[in-house]
Amino acid sequence: MKSWIAATLLALGTVPVPAAAQTVPVPSVPPAPPERPACREVGDLPFLAIDAGSAARLGAIGLDRAAIFAQMRETSIPETMGCWAMPVGNFDSQLVSVGMAQWNFGTGSLQPLLKAWKQAQRGGFRRARKALMPVHGKTIFSHACLAVPVKPRCREKILAAHGPDGKLDPVLWGEFNALFESDAMLQVQLDTYLVLLEAVRQDLLRVFPDGPITLRKVRWAVDTKVQQGGFPLDEDLARLRRKLAAMPEADRWDRLGAIFAWYGALSRSIDQDGVQRDWAWNLDRWGCLLDGRRIDPEQYEMLHLTFLRSRTAIGNSGRWQALTFERRAKIILGVGSVSGKADGECLR
């Protein structure tokens, strides 16, 4: 590994002595992605409709129909490995997370989708519910579970449908999978995602008031919105940009190297999850880009903005901060591995 990473990690006290242990092992090939069960994959389907007004507004930032579904697919990769459903249980204290953007009960993001699907069924709701969720449907669509936050009796029933390993039992897993892979719920997921994209459009105009809205920025903003719900405050953006403007040119690359080292130190610590297969490969390739000065001004600023937001990821007391940075750094640089899926390369 290039000396700037090893030296910075050593300075941070994260690399043990003796000298033979002062380097981080660098995989020469990307990590193998995990196997996943067969699923209905995220992608464009003829019956899925996009409102004409929404299409026009999103088209103004370069998102036509093909780009919208490409963005949905990209969002789903780290969330559900590209599936429309992929339900998971309470491993992250969100009770149940499901859908291509992993909407969940814990944050209250899942309940609106359930309500929208129920409303779309009109008079056929009970019949559709029984067909897709014959065992747990009454519970999932009860007032207790549709409330935000969910009521204690809902939480108790759902937790009772978890196995000893903390995962959803096969019945509830199968019913959530059936519901979220159904045609009507695919439309609900698309509609919900379109609302998110339109909100992102407004956010981009605030976060980047002076620059063009590039596709890289759109992709970055969508991932930030999905995972963290929002962006830094104006005063934080202004403070960071003042510091970047005043920074001596001689400090430019060391400052960015320190952010990468922060990511590496977090990834090696005991309470960071989701990055174990990826971080060493990422550090090596990003270090290669840094050493070759192959990071343009837009990328440079966006990496600092990502650092600003990632260090405020507070879920499970910061358990996902390294993953949060990793996801967005891959988008910014076009090189990176997330959830075992590596893209791009840096040739020395």
d(CA 198, CA 110): 19
| Residue 2 clears pLDDT 80, i.e. is over it | no
Contact assessment for residue 266 and residue 321, using Cβ atoms and an 8 Å cutoff = yes
Can you say whether the dihedral through the CA atoms of 217, 192, 162, 152 is positive or negative? positive
CA distance 2 to 287: 7
pTM greater than 0.85 (yes/no): no
Q: What mean pLDDT comes out for the span 111-132?
A: 97
Domain ranges within the chain, ordered by starting residue: 3-30+232-343, 52-204
Q: Output the pLDDT for position 152.
A: 97
pLDDT at residue number 24: 58
Nearest to 188 by CA among 100, 93, 308: 100
pLDDT at 277 over 80: yes
**What secondary structure letter does DSSP report for 83?**
B
- pLDDT reported for residue 29: 64
Q: What does the pLDDT look like over 220-230, one tens digit per residue?
A: 998 898 888 88
pLDDT tens, 7-66? 444 444 433 333 333 355 666 666 666 677 789 999 999 999 999 999 999 998 889 999
Q: What confidence category does residue 130 fall into, taking pLDDT thresholds of 50, 70 and 90? A: very high
Q: pLDDT tens, 168-215?
A: 999 999 999 999 999 999 999 999 999 999 988 889 989 999 878 888
Mean pLDDT of 103-125: 96
Average pLDDT over the chain, rounded to whole?
Answer: 89
